[in-house]
Amino acid sequence: MQTEALAGETIRFDVLTIFPELLDSPLKEGIIRRAQEAGQIGVFCHNIREYALDTRCRRCRRWLRSRGG
């Protein structure tokens, strides 16, 4: 069965987002937090702007700041 194959393994989740700080709080609560503490899952947030080739990738953040966000 598949549950036997996953026993003792860690499932890795890579989340690609432009706002990784928004996911910090939800990932530290409830079932997800308990699964991370038990070593069953690993959640890694990646800021896709770090991989941009030009500096225009910062526009989204400037646009939100100008709108009060």
- pLDDT 10s digits, 10-50: 999 999 999 999 998 998 999 999 999 999 999 999 999 88
Q: Is 56 left (phi over 0), alpha (psi -120 to 50) or beta?
A: alpha
Predicted confidence at residue 1, as pLDDT, reads 39
Amino acid at 6: L
Rounded to an integer, what distance in angstroms lies between the CA atom of residue 7 and that of residue 32? 17
Instruction: Look up the domain containing 24 and give its range.
Output: 2-49+56-66
Q: Which helix (H) or strand (E) holds 12?
A: strand 11-17
Q: Work out how many domains the chain is built from and give that number.
A: 1
Asked whether the whole model's pTM tops 0.95, one would answer: no
Share of the chain above pLDDT 90, in %: 45
DSSP reduced 3-state for 47: strand
Rounded to an integer, what distance in angstroms lies between the CA atom of residue 37 and that of residue 40? 8
